[in-house]
């Protein structure tokens, strides 16, 4: 079993160093033997470091799940997963415990992935950024930063304690997290720390008001070439006392489904195009229970490629795809945000609660609005008179219309420009 030690080397990094020493003045050579850092190991023989070799004990095979729990401590947990030579979508799922959110980021071939969804996202599960605003997926405003996205259950202390850069120790929040590396299936404290700063846009936690405040999150990393084979997975746990678990599937082709080309309404149409999706999961420990849906459901990521390298309609404007000439899924920012029966005339019905009076109104869901959307409407069928705003409280219902939707746009109840106050 390897032991942790502090050594000094005569180079810019361990890979290019000539020798290891036990003192900072580089006067006392470390004992001959094997030394490892990151994904490499080198033998020191007669005081000289030999060529770097891959560290097999530093890699865990894909298809592996792992749990970690630390009490009265915080940390950044680094793991390297061997994806072998397969190509396809690498599905990563994680559960960050019931109360303390953690950050996650995956890196393969120098490309980072930090966007996540969850089971029933937009269907009871509500994902919020640090400003307490709902987002289509966790990390939507964190793309291109190369920084982790923080998921789990919402916790205001996560943002209020940032930056985590003090020299103190837990349980005092705001201390610099310790660095851990996964070796032979165990996270090993490396004896160093790093500072962590968290921005509001890097947060995508589950709301306490949602049906599942801390769901299992899903991430997809496309592996588009045979090499490199390692994937790096980092969990950032800056809050003191955390627990998390994760599992990384081996690369596979994502399940496919047939649907119509994109359209702006939920009118029934013939399926002529093949798309792909990733299933979400539930549970609190690995292995998770992966759902078995054969077509996308609300909260699924959807793609135009089987390896997950291209999201379907990765824009902020909702588009509809008709499956089996019966189901209209609404896709926005690469996520299924609605699923209703298609209709030759426009759509099934919805019910809203007026922003000012709280009165309920029923109308045809012509534009495929989803739960919590704030839409404009007029009373009557057809609509007449003043334009009001209301929050969608029910979709895909049947009833007698007494109002008419006024457009596809979603606003806010406090929007004095578009909503009668």
Kindly give the residue spans of alpha helices, DSSP state H, lying in 172-302: none
CA dist 123 to 6, 103, 397, Å? 50, 23, 15
Q: How many residues does the structure list for the chain?
A: 421
Q: What pLDDT score was predicted for residue 344?
A: 64
| Biggest CA pair distance of the chain | 91
Q: pTM score, two decimals?
A: 0.76
Calpha distance 299→119 (Å, rounded) = 6
Q: What are the distances in angstroms from CA 115 to CA 81, 203, 205, 292, 314?
A: 19, 11, 12, 22, 12
Strands 59-61 and 75-82: parallel
157: enclosing H helix or E strand? helix 156-160
At residue 224, the 3 state secondary structure works out as coil
Whether the CB-CB separation of 370 and 395 falls below 8 Å is answered with: yes
Domain ranges of the chain: 8-54, 58-248, 349-405
Tens digit of each residue's pLDDT, the chain (421 residues): 356 678 888 887 887 889 999 998 999 999 988 787 766 778 888 999 887 766 666 788 999 888 888 777 899 999 999 999 999 999 999 999 999 999 999 999 999 999 999 999 999 999 999 999 999 999 999 999 999 999 999 999 999 999 999 988 888 899 999 988 887 788 888 778 999 999 999 999 999 888 888 999 999 999 999 999 999 999 999 999 889 999 999 999 999 999 999 999 998 999 999 999 999 999 999 999 999 999 999 999 999 999 999 999 999 999 999 999 889 999 999 999 999 988 764 447 889 999 999 999 999 888 878 888 899 999 998 889 899 999 999 887 878 899 999 988 888 888 888 888 7
Exposure string for 215-243, b = 16+ CB within 10 A, e = fewer: bbbbbbbbbbeeeebbbbbbbbbbbbbbb
Contact in structure between 134 and 127 (CB atoms under 8 Å):
yes
> What is the model's pLDDT at position 55?
67
Both tokens of residue 294? Answer: 């054969």
Burial of 257 (0-12, 13-18, 19+ CB in 10 A): buried
243 φ, ψ to 5°? Answer: -145, 140
pLDDT of residue 418: 86
């Amino acid at each position: 079993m390897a032991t942790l030690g502090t050594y000094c080397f005569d180079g810019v990094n361990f890979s290019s160093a000539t020798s290891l020493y036990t003192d900072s003045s580089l006067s006392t050579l470390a004992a001959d033997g094997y030394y490892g850092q990151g994904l490499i190991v080198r033998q020191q023989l007669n005081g000289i470091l030999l060529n770097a070799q891959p560290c097999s004990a530093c890699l865990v095979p894909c298809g592996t799940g792992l749990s970690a729990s630390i009490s009265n401590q915080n940390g950044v947990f680094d793991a390297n997963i061997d994806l072998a030579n397969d190509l396809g979508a690498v599905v990563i799922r994680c559960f960050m415990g019931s109360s303390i959110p953690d950050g996650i980021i995956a890196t393969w071939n120098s490309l980072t992935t930090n966007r996540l969804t969850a089971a029933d996202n937009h269907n009871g599960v509500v994902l919020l950024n640090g400003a307490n605003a709902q987002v289509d997926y966790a990390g939507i405003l964190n793309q291109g930063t190369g920084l982790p996205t923080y998921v789990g259950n919402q916790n205001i202390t996560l943002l209020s304690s940032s930056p985590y850069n003090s020299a103190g120790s837990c349980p005092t929040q705001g201390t610099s997290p310790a660095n851990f590396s996964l070796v032979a299936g165990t996270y090993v404290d490396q004896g160093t720390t790093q500072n962590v700063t968290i921005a509001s846009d890097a947060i995508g936690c589950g709301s306490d008001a949602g049906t599942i405040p801390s769901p299992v999150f899903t991430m997809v990393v496309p592996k588009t070439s045979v090499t490199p084979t390692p994937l790096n997975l980092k969990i950032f746990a800056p809050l003191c006392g955390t627990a998390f678990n994760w599992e990384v599937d081996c690369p596979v082709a994502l399940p496919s489904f047939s649907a119509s080309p994109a359209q702006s309404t939920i009118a029934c149409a013939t399926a002529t195009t093949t798309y792909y999706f990733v299933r979400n999961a539930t549970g609190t420990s690995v292995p998770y229970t992966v759902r078995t849906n054969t077509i996308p459901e609300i909260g699924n990521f959807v793609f135009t490629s089987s390896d997950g390298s291209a999201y379907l309609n990765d824009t902020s404007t909702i588009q509809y795809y008709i499956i089996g000439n019966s189901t209209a899924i609404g896709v926005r920012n690469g996520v299924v945000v609605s699923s209703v029966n298609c209709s030759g005339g426009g759509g099934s019905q919805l019910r809203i609660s007026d922003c000012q009076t709280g009165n309920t109104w029923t109308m045809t869901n012509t534009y495929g609005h989803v739960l919590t959307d704030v839409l404009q409407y007029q009373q009557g069928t057809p609509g007449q008179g003043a334009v009001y705003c209301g929050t969608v409280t029910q979709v895909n219902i049947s009833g007698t219309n007494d109002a008419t939707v006024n457009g596809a746009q979603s606003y806010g109840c406090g929007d004095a420009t578009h909503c009668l106050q």
